[in-house]
Amino acid sequence: MVHEVRGVVARDKGEAVTVETVLVPDPGPGEALVDVQACGVCHTDLHYREGGISDEFPFLLGHEAAGLVSAVGEGVTNVEPGDYVILNWRAVCGQCRSCLRGRPWYCFNTHNASQSVTLTDGTELSPALGIGAFAGKALVHSGQCTKVDPAAAPAAAGLLGCGVMAGLGAAINTGNVSRGDTVAVFGCGGVGDAAIVGSLLAGARTIIAVDINDQKLEWASNMGATHTINSAKTDAVKAIKGLTGGFGVDVAIDAVGHPEVYKQAFKARDLAGTVVLVGVPGPEAKVELPMMEIFGRGGSLKSSWYGDCLPSRDFPMLVDLYLQGRLDLDAFVSETIGLDDVEAAFDKMHSGGVLRSVVVF
Ligand SMILES: NC(=O)c1ccc[n+]([C@@H]2O[C@H](COP(=O)([O-])OP(=O)(O)OC[C@H]3O[C@@H](n4cnc5c(N)ncnc54)[C@H](O)[C@@H]3O)[C@@H](O)[C@H]2O)c1
Ligand SMILES: [Zn+2]
Ligand SMILES: [Zn+2]
């Protein structure tokens, strides 16, 4: 059977998204069909619309979602209809060279559904990050479903499916922020604020939030930043050094992905410090750095994909922290919107008016 649902489609580079009827097939072998309950608007959806991720238009956007499994295909054993799940874009294969070496969070061959979701004229859609959850139903590989406690509200829990996990993990997993560390986070959107929260959970003593928008900085303080810097008005590198005895931070996290911001992060870290790039750069972005400083300062320059998370390990644990009141996921939900409001949510993202707009069904 084919299900007709409404979905948010990016037809062409830079064009406003449209809400269209999309056709979702029943799950085949290894696949699961999920009734989407909530899906957050992530900056990566906008990168897709702008052609910054790939040219495989049209895209079915949305990838930060929670919902209920409605059907599973042949051979699926990890979930069954009725299960409450967060969708993930890291269904690990267990067989690639990284999985076999015991490092599945770097899996080089993650699973997605094999069947396609199409427009009514048969045009195949490329689902954002292999998910495509700005639609009433999402067809995914069963490994993309992580069961969590159904007591967690979908609008909050879904955010663990991308941005919040990416930020938390950038701090805790990739940056290895530890008790007593000093941290600077550049860009305080959903991802950056999650890096602030992750640093707080990990026991950082100083957490410096950097943004060009004062509203974002106020929210970053509420999330646990100990200091804020508006880098449109102040030299962020100097200010960070001033707050850290002249040395710089142990971990500098770039949650923007612009060359200028990356350079600030690079210069704002202490000797032997770590720079983590979690913001996604544009395809043409280039950065020039003094090689002697790359060498001389020691430490490491790392990238963080999805916060180096392992969904099966991390989602249920983080949902527990949320339900215990130790991780305020609700604070990331600025507004709940309908499917027709995704384009407007992109505008709000640009103007800095929201942390996360979340589509609820
Ligand atoms: N690596 C991953 O796995 C992963 C996952 C999700 C999102 N991302 C990426 O992370 C980035 C942030 O995503 P988001 O959803 O939080 O976006 P967002 O648009 O909500 O937030 C971006 C923030 O950066 C700030 N900013 C912009 N230019 C700046 C500058 N020059 N200096 C300081 N701050 C600046 C903005 O004011 C805003 O607060 C995006 O590039 C997104 O694609 C990466
Ligand atoms: Zn693998
Ligand atoms: Zn995302």
91 is a domain residue: yes
317 is a domain residue: no
CB distance 213 to ligand 1 below 6 Å? yes
Cis link prior to 27 (omega < 30° from 0)?
no
From residue 70, give the alpha-carbon distance in Å to each of 76, 79, 80, 169, 271: 13, 10, 8, 30, 52
Q: Express each pLDDT in 58-93 by its tens digit.
A: 999 999 999 999 999 999 999 999 999 999 999 999
- Structure confidence at residue 85 (pLDDT): 98
CA of 70 to the centre of ligand 3 (A): 24
142 is a domain residue: yes
98 is a domain residue: yes
Element (H, E) at 48: helix 43-49
My answer on whether 138 and 253 are in the same domain is: no
Q: Express each pLDDT in 294-314 by its tens digit.
A: 999 999 999 999 999 999 999
| Residue 6 tokens, joined | 């409404």
**Cα–Cα nearest to 72, from 106, 113, 110:** 113
My answer on whether 150 and 189 are in the same domain is: no
CB distance 212 to ligand 1 below 6 Å? yes
CB of 184 closer than 8 Å to CB of 252: yes
CA of 176 to the centre of ligand 2 (A): 22
CB distance 161 to ligand 1 below 6 Å? no
Provide the domain limits for residue 191: 167-304
Closest ligand by atom to 345 CA? 1
My answer on whether 46 and 149 are in the same domain is: yes
What residue owns the CA closest to ligand 1's atom 18?
A: 189
My answer on whether 156 and 7 are in the same domain is: yes
CATH number where 40 lies: 3.90.180.10
CB of 250 closer than 8 Å to CB of 274: yes
CB distance 192 to ligand 1 below 6 Å? yes
User: Which of 44, 89, 276 most suits a substitution to test ligand 1, by most atoms within 8 Å of the C-beta?
Assistant: 44
Closest ligand by atom to 278 CA? 1
Instruction: For the chain, 361 residues long, give each residue's pLDDT as a single digit of tens.
Output: 999 999 999 999 999 999 999 999 999 999 999 999 999 999 999 999 999 999 999 999 999 999 999 999 999 999 999 999 999 999 999 999 999 999 999 999 999 999 999 999 999 999 999 999 999 999 999 999 999 999 999 999 999 999 999 999 999 999 999 999 999 999 999 999 999 999 999 999 999 999 999 999 999 999 999 999 999 999 999 999 999 999 999 999 999 999 999 999 999 999 999 999 999 999 999 999 999 999 999 999 999 999 999 999 999 999 999 999 999 999 999 999 999 999 999 999 989 889 999 999 9
Residue 51 to residue 95: CA distance in whole angstroms? 31
CATH number where 174 lies: 3.40.50.720
My answer on whether 145 and 185 are in the same domain is: no
My answer on whether 118 and 10 are in the same domain is: yes
Model pTM? Answer: 0.96
My answer on whether 243 and 296 are in the same domain is: yes
What residue owns the CA closest to ligand 1's atom 10?
A: 279
My answer on whether 38 and 119 are in the same domain is: yes
31 is a domain residue: yes
Q: Which atom of ligand 1 is nearest to the CA of 280?
A: 41
My answer on whether 42 and 150 are in the same domain is: yes
CA of 296 to the centre of ligand 3 (A): 34
19 is a domain residue: yes
My answer on whether 39 and 70 are in the same domain is: yes
My answer on whether 259 and 351 are in the same domain is: no
CA of 62 to the centre of ligand 3 (A): 8
266 is a domain residue: yes
My answer on whether 286 and 346 are in the same domain is: no
290 is a domain residue: yes
CB distance 211 to ligand 1 below 6 Å? yes
- Domain total in the chain: 2
Q: Express each pLDDT in 343-358 by its tens digit.
A: 999 999 989 889 999 9
